[in-house]
Amino acid sequence: MSELLSVGQVADRSGVATSALRYYEREGLITATRNPGGHRRFEPIVLRRLAFIRAARHVGLTLEEIRDALAQLPDDRTPTKADWARISRTWRQRLDAEIEALEAVRDGLDSCIGCGCLSLRHCGIANPGDVAATRGAGARYLPAPLREPQG
């Protein structure tokens, strides 16, 4: 058995706050054991799960989607590269959409990025009468992947 890590060690190694670690545990995304003093102890493999969670959140997956993906990993052995590839394969379409949206913003940074702000005299996307405001909150002309709330 590998040496178990304390919550502080996991936080230091993963860059994930201890409060987030406790939250992820409550949500069933990671698991911990307790030592005789009741302190959390984690298997080192949790670091890979946390990296997966961080990447999944950045791509825009919900916690429920992440939980479903992690549930596909084996409980009886360390996940293999093939296991991780299988569950991340479904991200490709989402990543492609995000890349396309980011390229659109990058290419528009010197003029209009689609925010609907009315602050530029010349904008590639006109917003006369602030019609964008009638379409809801946020930057309505930004590509959809970039308008989704970040958790």
The pLDDT-based confidence of 46 (bands split at 50, 70, 90) is: very high
The pLDDT-based confidence of 3 (bands split at 50, 70, 90) is: very high
The pLDDT-based confidence of 1 (bands split at 50, 70, 90) is: very low
Weakest mean pLDDT among 3-17, 44-58, 67-81:
67-81
Task: Please tell me which residue, 122 or 99, carries the higher pLDDT value.
Answer: 99
Beta bridge partners of 41: 6, 33
Q: Mean pLDDT, to the nearest integer, of 87-110?
A: 81
Would you say residue 11 has pLDDT above 70? Answer: yes
The CATH classification number of 5-92 equals 1.10.1660.10
Contacts of 45 (CB under 8 A, 6+ apart): 2, 78, 79
Contacts of 105 (CB under 8 A, 6+ apart): 113, 114, 142, 143, 146
For the chain, the structural domain boundaries read 5-92, 111-144
Task: Please tell me which residue, 67 or 114, carries the higher pLDDT value.
Answer: 67
Q: Mean pLDDT, to the nearest integer, of 25-32?
A: 93
Q: Mind giving me the DSSP string for 129-145? A: GGGGGGG-SS-TTS-HH
Residues in the chain: 151
Strand ranges in 1-149 using DSSP code E only, listed in sequence order: 5-6, 33-34, 40-42
